[in-house]
């Protein structure tokens, strides 16, 4: 299936992680849990990388700085060591993870980073600018976003890059070969990023407040989520772009952060 991306596998973390009946899950003790979806990819030249790293308990300690609905709902967060344990169970040494591709780009969303000693964060200049303008404690910023941040290069004239330009504002070529493209996908938070795996025609949308239903439904997002927080205009623009992409390019598989069936593969 692929000659640059050799494998793609999904890991899910959290107490109720394998229940996908709803985006936000009511647990037995009446609290809610946000299951975290993490993709592990292997690139022929650059080795292994993680797409998204889940959430950390820093969020529980700083909920007032986070989304409005978290002031009204208790939520359990993946601690980072959960994904590390699953990787080790599959024989993957955390030392082999050389790059981390962030979907939710705020530093406090990087639960597994302290457990990955040799990683680089792949981000963009625009994302880093957004991080600096957010009301984030300086010590927390330094603790979760150290010096290992590299800007990604603008994409060349690859087929996937040309396709995405018709739908999204900016696109970045992660590995410089067109195999994985990052693009602006403003969600219920403004600084989200999506990823497009060119060879497998798989688009990984990062929005935790949406699922595949928004690609065909007339009303987006659900009334429940709208009542919990106000959404930026960019969010609806992103959803409309995804809907148009889905309609005009049905050969592309689009999945969201908490989708139940991520197309995983290993190249022959």
Q: What is the pLDDT of residues 165-210, one digit of tens each?
A: 888 877 777 887 888 888 877 766 666 788 899 989 999 987 766 7
> What's the pTM value of the predicted model, to 2 decimals?
0.75
The pair of three-digit structure tokens given for residue 261, joined into one six-digit string: 């069936």
Query: Average pLDDT for residues 63-89, to the nearest whole number?
Result: 61
CATH 3.60.15.10 fits 5-266, yes or no: yes
Q: What average pLDDT score do residues 141-149 get?
A: 46
CA 153, CA 73: separation in Å to the nearest integer? 39
Q: Confidence band (pLDDT; 50, 70, 90) for 224? A: very low
Q: Output DSSP code: residue 168.
A: -
Q: What is the pLDDT of residue 145?
A: 46
Domain ranges of the chain: 5-266
Q: How many Å separate Cα 55 from the centre of its chain?
A: 11
């Amino acid at each position: 299936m692929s000659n640059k991306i050799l494998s793609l596998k999904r890991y899910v973390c959290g107490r109720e992680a394998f229940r996908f009946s709803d985006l936000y899950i009511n647990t037995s003790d009446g609290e809610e849990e946000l299951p975290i979806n993490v993709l592990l990819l292997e690139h022929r030249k650059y080795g292994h990388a993680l797409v998204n790293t889940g959430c950390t308990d820093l969020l529980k300690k700083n909920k007032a700085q986070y989304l409005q609905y978290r002031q009204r709902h208790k939520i359990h967060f993946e601690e980072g060591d959960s994904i590390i344990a699953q990787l080790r169970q599959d024989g993957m040494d955390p030392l082999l993870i050389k790059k981390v591709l962030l979907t939710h780009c705020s530093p406090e969303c990087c639960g597994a980073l302290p457990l990955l000693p040799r990683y680089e964060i792949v981000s963009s200049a625009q994302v880093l600018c957004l991080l600096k303008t957010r009301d984030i404690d300086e010590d927390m910023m330094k603790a979760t976003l150290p010096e290992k941040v590299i800007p990604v290069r603008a994409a060349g004239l690859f087929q996937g890059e040309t396709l995405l330009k018709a739908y999204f504002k900016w696109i970045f070529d992660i590995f410089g070969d067109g195999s994985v493209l990052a693009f602006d996908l403003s969600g219920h938070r403004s600084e989200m990023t999506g990823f497009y795996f060119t060879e497998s025609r798989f688009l990984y949308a990062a929005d935790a407040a949406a699922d595949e239903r928004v690609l065909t439904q007339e009303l987006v997002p659900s009334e429940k989520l709208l009542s919990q927080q106000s959404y930026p205009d960019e969010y609806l623009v992103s959803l409309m772009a995804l809907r148009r992409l889905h309609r005009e390019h049905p050969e592309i598989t689009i999945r969201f952060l908490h989708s139940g069936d991520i197309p995983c593969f290993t190249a022959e």
